[in-house]
Structure 1
Amino acid sequence: MKIKNIVSLTLICFAIGNLFAQNPWPKTTETAKPWTRWWWMGNAVDEKGLDKQLTTLNKVGFGGVEIVPIYGAKGFENKYINYLSPEWMKMLQFTTSKAKSLNMGVDMAVGTGWPIGGSQVDEQDAATKMIVQTYTISSGEKFSDKIVLKDEKQKNLKTIKLDIVTAYNEKNEAVVLTDKVGSEGFLNWKPGSGKWTIYAVFVGKTLQKVKRAAPGGEGYTLDHFSPDATKDYLRTFDKAFGNSNYGIRSFFNDSYEVYNADWTPDFLSEFKKRRGYDLSPFIKYLVSNEENEIAGRVKSDYRETLSELILNNFTKDFTNWAHSKNSKNTNQAHGSPGNLLDLYAAVDIPESETFGSSIFEIPGLKRDSSDIQKSDMPDFNMLKFASSAANVTGKKLTSNETFTWLTEHFKTSWSQAKPEVEQVFLSGINHVFYHGTTYTPVDVKFPGWLFYASVNFVPENSLWPHLKGLNSYIERTQSVLQSGKSDNELLMYWPIYDQWASPKGKDVTFKVHNVEKWLQPTAMYENLNKLSKMGYSLDMISDKMIGESKSENQKIYSNEGSEYQVLIIPELTYLPESTLKSILDLAQNGASIIFQNKPKDIPGNFEVEKRRTQLKALWNQIQFQNQVGNLKAASFGKGKIVLSSDVAKALEYLKIEREELTDTGLKFVRRKFDGGKYYYIVNHTSKEINQNILLNFIGKQVTLMNPENGDYGLAQTQNNSVRVQLKSGESLIIKNTEDIYTSIPNWYYSEKTDAPIGLNQPWQLSFKEGGPELPKTRALKKLEPWTNFTEDASTQSFSGTGVYTTNLKLKKKSADDYLLKFDKLYESAKVIVNGQDAGIVWSIPFEINVGKYLKKGKNTIQIEVCNLMANRIRYMDQNKIVWRNYNEINFVNIDYKAFDASNWKVQPSGLEGEIQLIPIHFSK
């Protein structure tokens, strides 16, 4: 009996299972924290400086660094260290050991500057291009010219070879003459009749060298299409690293920026092996400006071959090599002449990037047109290529190079960074790298060493004391976004063959800087925007991924990836018959498919009629029936296929639910984990949201979590809705669980506010830290920026921390909480109430709850305000103080012109307007 009671008690305890107190935030990791790209200028690093900077980065909440060696500062040449030399490896070993002691991670670039290359890349392995020369010959004429390369820049190269010689007459009849050309370039051929144009293709070199190279990293850029070149390149790292990875978590490769690389020495044989025919008789259609069907088909095959070569001969080999070192790899695929989805998916951590500044509707958010890139703006759907590849193939992390050229130097506030990184998160990315932080020796004066394209996440930045606010926000958010799996319900096929089939140009590169040419004009892009605004969650999928996917229980999935409800084929012209067969196989096993139109043709120039017939036969297997609303549908095996130009109506027909919360203007991304789902929700609208919002999934317990300060509490729910209060610029995480946890307090909803208390009394303004000198302390009759006091020159040049102090007499403390609300804040503030740290105010809306620190009677309020670096840099340039003195590009402004801040206007600094203390009453 006693044993039975013990068992019963155990069962009772097990039954209530998760009925216990638990902090709902996931356990944080070094990966959840933001990382930063760490520029080693000239590799002029030492142990003292490395120790100091890593410790400093750790204190403000960085989880890791990504080492990228770069050109150096002038005057420090004697401290330069050659890349991968024994001394450099010693510095790397110190870095990883110190980082490990701080629970930080270290990544490093497989090269200096960009794109990858260096002294180990000899002529044979250097980026390669085709060089085309044309000649004419008529019947009866003797060809007196010699078919030899005329490019003076190439003449001294040893690897130049003649690859193709093909002649065409006026009827476009082709004769391949490659074997008719002797070693001296003489052509042993006479045409029987007519006039002929001869196309000669030479294997040449781009001669491009590594951009912004560090000492020891100078040299040619790599031929990414050659497996031998990749192996040769990585062999240098094998020699330097030996059997160790030196503590490197992931080896990093920057975006593909290899210009004019459109060939490789064995391209002809690779083309024939992969496309099924010899390119030589069709070379005219590739290299000339003719725009006809054959040209489009040949170019499609050429572009597909380049894609396969960079995937198989570089990206996969890079991944395998990193694994051989027991490390991961990170790759920025964008810019490549290949299928970005497949390239991103072939690595451990796909990485995208943001470049420039986005437009948000958030009132009060700074966006000065003179301080931003005129042409570049991050594109949300461009970001989704990396996260889509990760989600479809089961990668846990998608990273992003974040904040590149967000604003002009020294003018970026943390409040401007917040919505930009939120857009990155909403795209499905969950592992951000700041761009960036520059190593500075301990004895280098302000502003230290700086890199020309970065937001300055450096200790010398006057905003540094408040960076912990942004970092903590990112850490909490990423701890959620790295949990479980993505929970997107739709797959959108990328019709890349429509891009490849264009008869214009030659190679096609998919860059972040020209999305207006290749991405935004497409039907896929239109669908992505429309469906996202409607509340659907989407990932993109490639032909290769479709072929590797399975269907079961009406879901589509890959081996390790997310599950999806529907595959959408947007409006297109070209679809390979093999892809259509894979799509039908998915439907046969239960998948739901939406076609926006009937595929018109197959891509490529191999067995065109045969493959057209196969495409038609496959399509004819679908027996469509007319439905209401100009929509056709067919049962296909266990699945369904819908044909409709209106994808939204097709989704409605298939009963695929959308998240109606987007009707309010809110944006979201959703994750699923065992026993529940997370919703990360952001208000980028211009209005406050205070209402119940519908969710497609409501668990037994709904917890609201504030990623900015870590607060959490049980939400008010009604049917399938959750009550949400979000001001413009705010974000929230909703955790839905089937388990029930006790000791979680109720979420505090603000029901009403009493009349605000205006802090219009006198203030004292003093200065804590910064330079070039501290302005004098002064008494203020009212709050105003310290830059208003023009009679004191030091206030115009000061960058640092100013402290506003006042006393407040609170007659009674009857409200549930008190909100300290700023009118204008330049740029961020730490609030101290009665000697207690109340927190950092760094983002819109500029306000903070301080009720628990207040008391009845006298209260002392201190507000430590940090301003931008801009005013101090302006002072230095006006006074000809040398601070930018670098090799290579030196230091440029946002328009890539010589930097000069001497004519800048003084940036307002401090507090302006009225600060209000607002009594708040919560719902009970």
Structure 2
Amino acid sequence: MLANCRQPQASNSVSSAVSEKQTQSSALWPEVKKENRPWTRWWWMGNAVDEKNINRLLDEYAKAGIGGVEIAPIYGAKEHESKYIDFLSPKWMGMLDFTVKKAGSLNMGVDLTQGTGWPFGGPQVKPEYAASRLIMQKYTLNGGQTLTETLEIKDPKQKEVGAVLQAVIAYGPKGAILNLTDKTTADGKLNWKAPAGTWEIYAAFNGKTRQMVKRAAPGGVGYTLDHLSKEATEAYLLPFTQAFNGSNHGVRAFYNDSYEVYGADWSAGFFEAFQKRRGYDLRPYLRELVSKEHSETVARVKSDYRETMGEMLYENFYQPWNAWAHKHNSLTKNQSHGSPGNLLDLYAAVDIPECETFGSSYFPIPGLRRDSADVRNVDPDPIMLKFASSAAHVTGKNLVSSETFTWLGEHFKTSYSQMKPEVEQVFLSGVNHVFYHGVTYSPEEVAWPGWLFYASLNMTPANSLWPQFNGFNQYITRVQSVLQSGTADNELLVYWPIHDVWSKPEGMEMMIKVHDIDEWLHPTQFYKQSKKLMDAGYSLDFVSDQMLQASSVSNGQIMTASAAPAHKVLVLPQSKYMAVPTFEKAIQLANQGATVIMEQLPADVPGLHDLNGRRQKLKQLTQSLTFTDAANGIKQMKAGSGEILLSADIQKALAFKNIERESLTDTGLKFTRRNIGTGKYYFLVNHTPKTIDTTIPLNLAAQSVVLMDPQNGNAGLAASSVTNGKTNVRVQMKSGEALILKATTNQTPEVLAWQYLDNAGTPLEVKGTWNLAFTQGGPDLPIAQKLTQLKSWTELADKKAEAFSGTGEYTITFDVPSKKADEYVLDLGKVSESAKVWINGQEVGTLYGIPFQTRVGQYLKPGKNTLKVEVANLMANRIRNMDQQKIQWRNYHEINFVNIDYKPFDASVWKPMPSGLIGPVTLTPYSTTAKNVSSSL
């Protein structure tokens, strides 16, 4: 959609008119910084990089609109071993320095994965610092017997890594439990005779997972780190301290990928840490810890164990790592999902929390391609993404990043039209700093398609969509420039009852993973309540026990950190377990002036230690609350200068307190909001299957509202009015479109009015003879065509076109009627997959997603006009042809190459993907209305 377009005019005035509007529109957007642009993970395969190719590729990335790279060294390509560079070697550091310098000259930033592959590990991780696991060996003795076996680890592989005996516990008749650890000699001899009865002896060893770094690069091969040990963390960081020698070498942020440390359920200091944190000795409960019984004691012991594990990870890994980066004047960026701890606290432990999209979501946008064979059976969940953004908002951090588009679709089949709604869902979740997953470094001399990562988006300069990548990146840049402005504007704090998650008797360690949300997230009342609130139009952040403890109240608002935005209400969803200090804090916040809404009073305390004492304390707290009946089933209690509401219907309680939802969601629109002091930004998306043309209410009284179109950068003053403290503004959004509203409480300087499209005339089909010329791509350029009917390239007589991936240029001359319309909308119909448009020599822009439509009145003239459309298709057909011809293009160490189901990749069985401009192409006349500027102020 283009703002403020005029009627068709003489061609010599087109350029100046377009320039005038572009100047006005650009002035209304925030100044672009490199963090506003999308960044990308940059795979360095085998670290086989050189200055010439780094220089060339960074130029390409900058030209495409990428704002920064995150270097991620991984396994290499075969037959290029002579060019491999060991990670952190002087030569490698030289490549890093060259990259930083070159990136700086292009106003790009550089982040670095602080390791190779994932998770953290490498040659510096000796067995004593490697990821650990609890190994239990069980023995049985009858009364009067002694153990003749030596208490030593039986697994020879564990002997190799030096598994250490840590505890020996005997369980006997009538619940007898004896700690025999001090009766065991250094060589494993148990000096103890069993009393009467049958005794089970549990010998606990600190073993090792023996997991190696996954997808490691040269110089990075080794064991995975024990993240629960501070000594191990310091040992891991030592080579970085030596290589970086007191400088960050220009690295903005050091990065840690998702926690994929498999089976690491222990650490050498676990017993001591547990005793200190939970108040009792874990050793007598070893049997419960490894038990498969579904008893209350087992669940409580495991909850305490999981809580301890999370705290050890926080204090022994995140804090030392953060301190190391800060000492080197860099930031930390981390994916906390998959970790054994409270995700909110772990995300908040770093400077830039990062979430991840994995798989693809369903959107009911008409024409949006989603072939079930080309997607993983995983839907990214916006509420899962909000754990990272909530951690940032609640602790006062502005940037929230996302590893974006991981396995969005099958290799070589992902289009911008599929990427756009997916990234919009990420934005709606509070993310404002997108990282592509990813771009692979590839030397110029490597034949097409170059080096590629096995699970990547394959968005490289070899991608046939690359020539139009800048158009899509401009869209992301405009949105992020707004979403990084001001502060997040969410009115509700919703407590996450982590102990309900931890208090499960199944298993032992609990990794809270993206892929397991059906187990730990979706069944919970926390999830269901949060989703209901968001769907109803409330904005919210999640808060942890630790975050609540740091909170205070100012003027009735809850302040979670000094730099954090205030929240109006604390919501405690139904939960079985709540720690006494958390419940006390909620009551304290109410006494200090806050509003606290409880769906239900907490039923029990978590954990095992002093269970009766803590239960009694919780009972005293709940009984101290005296409620009176209010309207609609709400119970009310005044507490100090605040109040507590108890209601099974949270939304009724919010309405009772006049906490208003954004009722614009009733239209089907989704939104996120930013507070800019003098007003608010609203980012809106229409993911419904229908066009929305209506007046929506905003929850503020604005003097003016500017409509800003992130698809093309245009802007104009909206038709708006204020009634009862709400601003009513007209919006027109087709399915698949986004829009930004800047609602300000001060008057906007002279801004041209936004022109609304009304009274559509009969669409005029652009037809005649289309001249099609293939301009770049391969394996061979098909011959030029003259088409009287648009069709897919795969249907052309020239068989070269079926295997072709690249760009084709369509040109046609058409007539515009002499009877002038106020505006014309060009609709390209079906496009496979992206298009760039020129009219009469003027660049209109890139149409990269559904709808493939744009206003073009300002470019047209009465009579003859020329339309040029450059279309880029997918890589799929060329890859299909190569596999059919058995041309070798994938030859990597490690995983080599797999399809979306992690099976050997084979494109030879694919059907050809439709390609090109398929149409029909139409031009629809409209009359326009524009609210007079002065009357809207």
Question: TM over 0.5: same fold?
Answer: yes
Aligned match of 1:495: 497
How many Å separate the matches in 2 of 1:281 and 1:899? 51
1:183 matches 2:190: no
**AA in 2 matched with 1:425:** F
- The 3-state SS of whatever aligns with 2:35 is coil
The structure 1 segments of at least 4 consecutive aligned residues displaced by more than 6 Å after TM superposition are: none
TM-fit CA distance, 1:103 = 0.3
1:107 matches 2:111: yes
Structure 1 gaps, min length 5? 1-19
**AA in 2 matched with 1:417:** M
Task: Output aligned runs, 1:326-725, within 5 Å.
Answer: 326-374=329-377, 376-558=378-560, 559-719=562-722, 720-725=727-732
8 Å CA contact 1:22, 1:743 repeated in 2: no
Q: Deviations over 1:321-357 (max 9, x none)?
A: 1100101010000000000000000100000000000
Aligned match of 2:918: 912
1:88 matches 2:92: yes
8 Å CA contact 2:25, 2:716 repeated in 1: no
Q: Deviations over 1:774-801 (max 9, x none)?
A: 1011211211122111x42201100001
Aligned match of 2:847: 841
1:77 matches 2:81: yes
TM-fit CA distance, 1:743 = 2.1
How many Å separate the matches in 2 of 1:474 and 1:913? 26
8 Å CA contact 1:136, 1:197 repeated in 2: yes
Q: Deviations over 1:843-898 (max 9, x none)?
A: 11111222222212221111111100000111111111111011100011101111
- The 3-state SS of whatever aligns with 1:301 is helix
1:29 matches 2:36: no
Of residues 844-853 and 225-234 in structure 1, the stretch that sits farther from structure 2 once superposed is 844-853
TM-fit CA distance, 1:708 = 0.8
TM-fit CA distance, 1:187 = 1.4
**AA in 1 matched with 2:757:** S
Q: Which of 276, 279, 284 is 1:273 aligned to?
A: 276
Aligned-pair identity (%)? 54
Q: Which of 147, 152, 155 is 1:151 aligned to?
A: 155
Change (3 A) 1:21 1:834: closer
How many Å separate the matches in 2 of 1:325 and 1:748? 52
Q: Deviations over 1:492-519 (max 9, x none)?
A: 1110011111122111111001100000
1:40 matches 2:41: no
Aligned length: 902
Aligned match of 1:738: 745
TM-fit CA distance, 1:629 = 2.6
Q: Which of 780, 790, 793 is 1:783 aligned to?
A: 790
Q: Which of 763, 769, 786 is 2:770 aligned to?
A: 763
TM-fit CA distance, 1:698 = 3.2
Q: Deviations over 1:660-705 (max 9, x none)?
A: 0001110000110121111000000011110100111131111110
Q: What is the TM-score of this pair, normalised by structure 1?
A: 0.96
How many Å separate the matches in 2 of 1:694 and 1:224? 49
**AA in 2 matched with 1:834:** N
How many Å separate the matches in 2 of 1:48 and 1:746? 49
**AA in 2 matched with 1:71:** Y
TM-fit CA distance, 1:22 = 8.7
Task: Output aligned runs, 1:225-244, within 5 Å.
Answer: 225-244=228-247
**AA in 2 matched with 1:476:** R
- The 3-state SS of whatever aligns with 1:155 is helix
How many Å separate the matches in 1 of 2:462 and 2:29? 32
Of residues 306-315 and 276-285 in structure 1, the stretch that sits farther from structure 2 once superposed is 276-285
How many Å separate the matches in 2 of 1:486 and 1:654? 22
How many Å separate the matches in 2 of 1:529 and 1:68? 35
How many Å separate the matches in 2 of 1:605 and 1:785? 67
1:886 matches 2:886: no
- The 3-state SS of whatever aligns with 2:76 is coil
**AA in 1 matched with 2:456:** S
Aligned match of 1:818: 824
TM-fit CA distance, 1:21 = 11
Q: Deviations over 1:240-268 (max 9, x none)?
A: 00011110000000000000001100111
8 Å CA contact 1:448, 1:460 repeated in 2: yes
Q: Which of 890, 894, 902 is 1:896 aligned to?
A: 902
Q: Deviations over 1:413-470 (max 9, x none)?
A: 1010000000000000100000000001111111011001011110000011111121
Change (3 A) 1:811 1:503: closer
How many Å separate the matches in 1 of 2:58 and 2:315? 37
Task: Output aligned runs, 1:202-351, within 5 Å.
Answer: 202-351=205-354
TM-fit CA distance, 1:297 = 1.4
Change (3 A) 1:729 1:547: same
- The 3-state SS of whatever aligns with 1:514 is helix
8 Å CA contact 1:686, 1:728 repeated in 2: yes
- The 3-state SS of whatever aligns with 1:563 is coil
Q: What is the TM-score of this pair, normalised by structure 2?
A: 0.95
8 Å CA contact 2:73, 2:117 repeated in 1: yes
TM-fit CA distance, 1:813 = 5.9
Q: Deviations over 1:165-193 (max 9, x none)?
A: 11112433211111111222221112322
- The 3-state SS of whatever aligns with 2:284 is helix
Q: Deviations over 1:712-744 (max 9, x none)?
A: 111111332110100100010010112223221
Of residues 543-552 and 847-856 in structure 1, the stretch that sits farther from structure 2 once superposed is 847-856
8 Å CA contact 1:813, 1:855 repeated in 2: no
Structure 2 gaps, min length 5? 1-23, 931-937
TM-fit CA distance, 1:153 = 1.2
Please, what is the CA RMSD of the aligned residues?
A: 1.2
How many Å separate the matches in 1 of 2:641 and 2:108? 50
How many Å separate the matches in 1 of 2:819 and 2:347? 57
How many Å separate the matches in 2 of 1:336 and 1:411? 32
8 Å CA contact 1:22, 1:744 repeated in 2: no
